[in-house]
Every structure is written in structure tokens, then in C-alpha cells.
Structure 1
Amino acid sequence: MKILLTTSFAILISVISFAQKPDNVLARIKYSFIHVRDTTQKNNPYTENMLLVIGKNASIYTSLDKLERDLELPKAKRAPGSPFKPVNQVDIYFFAKENKLVSRERFMNAYYLINEPSQRINWKITKDTTSFNGVQCKKATTTFKGRNWIVWYAPELPFQSGPWKLNGLPGLIIQASDNKNEVQFLFNGIDNLKRENLSAEELELAKAYDKSIFFSHEIALQKDAKETTRVEYDKIQDLFKKDPKGFIAAASGVPRDKVFIGGSTTGVSHNTINNPIELPEKK
């Protein structure tokens, strides 16, 4: 297993061009992510707080819960002995002009940058309108990654980004869901970037966030992340999925019987995923 691991990690690292100019941050949008991962547990969907950081051309989508846990913020701490909530370990960069997606994935305490296939989404814009917290939005629909999507975007916010891999509209995507409400990205506010208007408590929180790349002044690909291909990265992921405890034991040197993999804070295991966000494309 150790020999196999060494070989697998070696092939992960390849030479790929990820040159991309940094983009100044203009806004940060929060979403509540709701996903029925297991159709046998429809009343207990997976939930997570997410963050979209946007600039004129670039954006990055990440888990706000993960960020707050990594920063060891008080509100992210769990009581001793309580289950450890799983969080999304994939960050998604989008570069609008190039129509380019890059995944930044964390595995075994290391980060990898992976080019994703570009795909322009064929949107149908309707005449319907609504507002979210005073943000005026228009409705658009599409079929993408095997799901029929209904989204609301804000023409007054001229960014082509949105949560997850949804993008390409003439305005920021504020809210989105598939037609079955199995996957939802619900608008949860826009961050105030002007600190003079923050309360003392908000200012302290902002100072803590400053330690994260997601609260820097620029959006840029991580320089110390390893660059690889999706094919090679998936190979090592498959090894992990076949035997998680054995994989961790071999990689860390910790005895197999001492390896502990946490569960869900809701008491419902979200390890069963029979309903992924990306489904087979409809023919």
C-alpha cells in the first residue's frame, strides 16, 4: 500500500500552465447550500454555508464553514465529543473572459489545482422578476450537468459569476435551485467591504478573516498548490474511497485501529451520495 501511495502521489504532480492575472475583489456573497445527497433521507438534506468572492473577471467559490473552522473561530468550534461536520473541500475558480474553471482541491493536507473542461451554459432568460433583500433580479432557466436549473440573477451587479459552476449570465447569480429543489443555493447576504461601517464585533471578525486568502484584496490562484490533471487526481481519490482507513494509516503511519473518521452534526450520515449535484447528461 505504501509503495502504491508513493507512486500515486508522484503522478499527481504534472506540468500545467495555470498563469492567470490576479483580480481585485469587489464583493463577497454568502449562500446557504442545501443538497439532498441521499434520496432515502430527503428530510435530512446536507447543509453548508458558502461564500462567493468576485472581481471584475475572476471569482472563487468556497465553503464559509470550512473557512471559519480553519481560522478556529469560536462559532465554528464544536463541543467535546460531538460529531465533526463534514465540509466541502473543493474551491472553484471561474475566469469569465476565458470561460475557464479551475478546481482547488484539498487532500491529505495538501492543495491541488485542476483545470476543468469549459462549458458555456445555454441560458433562457424569462420576463419574470423578483428581489432578494432589495436586490432586483431576473429569472433564467437552463439544463446543466443533468439538472433543470431555475436561477435569479441581478442585472445591476454586472458579474458573470454564481455559486458552484453556474455562471455566464449578464449579472451576478443571486439564487439558484434545480426544479426538484434537491439542490439549492439560497442568497444569504452581501458582505460590506467598507470597514468604517462595521460594528466593533464585525470588525473583530473581519480581522480574523484577514488571515484567509478568501478575504485578501485579490483573487489569485494559490502559488504553493500542486498542479495536476483530473485523471491523475481521480486515481488517488479512488484509492482513498476503496479503503479510507487503510489509506490514511498508510499515508500517516497511524495504526489502522487508531484512525477515526467523523460523522455528521445532524446525526445523519452524509457519506451516502446517491444523488450527486452532477448527474448524467440527458440525451
Structure 2
Amino acid sequence: MKKLGIIALTLLIQNVFAQTNRFVYQVSMKPDASNKNDIKTENAYLDISPEKSMFYSENRLKRDSIMQKAFQGGGGRGSINREQMEGLRSNINYSIEKDKANQKTFFKDRIGRDIYSYEEDRPLNWKILSETTKIGEYKVQKAETDFGGRKWTAWFSTDLPYQDGPYKFGGLPGLIIKVEDSEGDYSFDLMKNYKIAEFPAMNQFGNTIKVKRTDFVKQQEKFKSDPMSFMSQQGGGGFAQTRIMGGGGNRGGGGNQNPADMRKRMEERMKEEAKNNSNPIELK
């Protein structure tokens, strides 16, 4: 009996330590360089376990849940509520995974029909300052770094013993409670935290292509300059049509659409998206 009690206690301790902590950040962004008054705000999750952490949009998880229910119900894409999905559109389309053991950061984002993944190759060189203050219930300390063409100020707390933070930020002696750039274009503010049982499974459509960061930037620029040509090279002709039809192409009842009209509509949408993302979080 004594041995069983020890085993049970060991399993309980393992279960407690195996739990994942979710930190919810409010992300404020000014992604349109021509209209800095247009501030986008949404929540993002930083899920942390002893082995890794994941940073991604709350809306992505909600969209994934809707799509999963639709497919499990046998209805497929046709049963998905378009308005509901539109309401969950996000400015945070990327996800970031940090491998704790190997001290590596991996960035994933979609370009066209595929997911591109790269390992971050630039170290974060923090300057820790003596200045302290309080944010909410946490005593925090100031740190600064230059990253991605921006100057960043972070406030971290040793009350939360995680050398982590939102986006690609981390490596300080405690969790980053707040981080913002000097222009006020991007800020991440911790709102709350709670425990979850495990990391959520992310839906993923298309192939995952591993590249170097510099190649990712090149591919992104190619896509922005000529999205239709880029997707054709990916073998995405059919995919492009699916995307347009899925975006409300059946409105008005007509199922058969002129491919030239569809192409034009998609090009217009891509140009609008490029304009709306003309002030990215990383400038270089």
C-alpha cells in the first residue's frame, strides 16, 4: 500500500508539472503604414510547457474549432458560417514555436497555398536596465533590444519564472509582461493566465516547406508583387479558385464564374491585403 501511495504521489507531481500554462496577451498593431490611426487589437496565446512554447492568435484557434466541427459533422467547407469566419479574421497569421532544450525559435506563416517555416537566425541581445515599476500585480524590470529594424522596450517579471515572452521575444530572467516598439506601432500586454491540459492541435492546410529566413523574405516579396503568378508556380490554380469561391463566390446563386473575373477579384483582394499590411512587425 505504501508503495502504491508513493507511485500515486509521483504521478500526481508529474501531472502538475506536465501542465501547460497559457498566457493571454492583448496585441495592438498599426499594420497600415498610410493610416496609423487604424489600430487593430486582438488576443494571442503564449502556451508554455517545460519543453516548448507556442505563440499564436486566439482567433486562429476559434477558426480551427469551427472548421473541425464542420468536417466532423460531415458538412465540409459548405457548412461553415462565412460571416462567423470573417469575424474571426486575424492580423496574426503566423505561429511561433520555441524549443526550450535546444534554444531555438521557429516561425511559421502561410505564403499562397503552403506553410513556410524557418528557424530564427538572429539572437536577441538584451540590455537589462535597473528601472523597475509595477504592472498589475507584477513587479517588473525594464530591458531594451533592437530587433527586426525596430527598437523594443520590454518589462519582465521574475515572479513568473519563464524566460519567455510573446512573439519571438524571450531570454530574460523572467516572463515578459509588456513589450512595445519605440514608434508605438506594436505592443503586447499580458492580460491573464491559466492552466490548460495540453497544447491544442492546429489545423494545417497545404504543405510545410522549410527554408532559411532570407529565403522566406524573398518568397514573401515575390508573392506580394505577383500573387497569381506565385500561386500558379505552386501548382495552385485550382486552389486559387477554391479560395475565391470560399470567400463568397457563390453569392447571387451563380456557381459557374468567369475565371478572368475570379482572377481579377483575387488580385484586388491581394493588393488590399498588401496595403493593409504595409507596416509589418519586422521592417528588416
Name the TM tier (shorter chain).
0.5 to 0.7
User: Does the aligned pair in 2 maintain the 1:240–1:247 contact within 8 Å?
Assistant: yes
Deviations 1:82-114, CA, capped at 9 Å, x for gaps: 687343222112234533211122344543431
C-alpha distance in structure 1 between counterparts of 2:56 and 2:22, whole Å = 11
Residues 110 and 270 (structure 1), Cα distance of their counterparts in 2 relative to 1, 3 Å cut: closer
Please give the alpha-carbon distance, in whole angstroms, between the structure 1 residues aligned to 2:156 and 2:260: 49
Question: 2:51 and 2:182 mapped to 1: Cα distance?
Answer: 29
Please, which of 158, 161, 179 is the counterpart of residue 158 of structure 1? 161
CA offsets, 1:242-279, max 9 Å, x none? 2224444661333342255597xxxx967344432223
1:79 aligned counterpart, secondary structure:
helix
57, 78, 89: which one aligns with 1:85: 89
Q: Name the counterpart of 1:203.
A: none
1:152 Cα deviation (Å)? 1.8
Aligned residue number for residue 240 of structure 1: 223
Greater length-normalized contact order (CA 8 Å, ≥ 6 residues apart): 1
Deviations 1:44-94 (A, max 9, x none): 1233321111122521211111221122189x9663896873432221122
The correspondence for 1:212, drawn from 200, 215, 223, is 200
Equivalent residues in 2 for 1:168-247 (5 A)?
168-193=171-196, 212-213=200-201, 225-247=208-230
Matched AA of 2:110: R
Contact kept in structure 1, 2:132 and 2:139, CA below 8 Å: no
Q: Secondary structure at the match of 1:66?
A: helix
Aligned equivalent of 2:127: 123
> What letter corresponds to residue 103 of structure 1 in structure 2?
F
CA-based RMSD of the aligned residues comes to 3.6
Share of identical aligned residues, percent? Answer: 27
2:39 corresponds to? 45
Which structure is higher in helix share?
A: 2
Which residue of the other structure, out of 35, 52, 63, is the alignment partner of 1:58? 52
- What number of residue pairs does the alignment pair up? 230
1:28 is matched with: 22
Could you list the per-position Cα deviations for residues 22-56 of structure 1 after superposition, in whole angstroms to 9, with x for gaps in the alignment?
Answer: x9553111111111122431221233321111122
The question of whether the paired residues in 1 share the 8 Å contact of 2:113 and 2:236 is answered with: no
SS in 1 for 2:169: coil
Q: Is the 8 A contact 2:19 2:196 kept in 1?
A: no
Give the Cα separation in 1 of the matches to 2:260 and 2:222: 16
The alpha-carbon deviation at position 160 of structure 1 amounts to 1.0
Gaps of 5+ in 1: 1-22, 195-209, 215-223
Q: C-alpha distance in 2, partners of 1:66/1:29?
A: 16
- Amino acid of the structure 1 residue aligned with 2:200: S
**Structure with bigger gyration radius:** 2
Give the whole-Å Cα distance in 2 for the aligned partners of 1:81 and 1:166.
29
CA drift of 1:163 comes to 0.7
Q: Distance in 1 between matches of 2:275 and 2:181?
A: 22
Give yes or no for contact 1:25–1:53 (8 Å, CA) kept in 2: no
Q: Among residues 236, 251, 254, which one is paired with 2:236 in the alignment?
A: 251
Task: Tell me the distance in 1 between the aligned counterparts of 2:167 and 2:84.
Answer: 32
**1:234: how far off?**
4.0
CA contact (8 A) 2:127 2:145 kept: yes
Q: Distance in 1 between matches of 2:194 and 2:81?
A: 22
Q: Which residue matches 1:147?
A: 150
Residue 171 of structure 1: how far off its partner (Å)? 0.6
Relative to the length of structure 1, the TM-score reads 0.66
- CA separation of 1:77 and 1:165: change in aligned 2, threshold 3 A: farther
Tell me the distance in 2 between the aligned counterparts of 1:241 and 1:39.
16
Tell me the CA shift for residue 122 of structure 1: 2.0
> Could you tell me how far 1:172 is from its partner in structure 2?
0.8
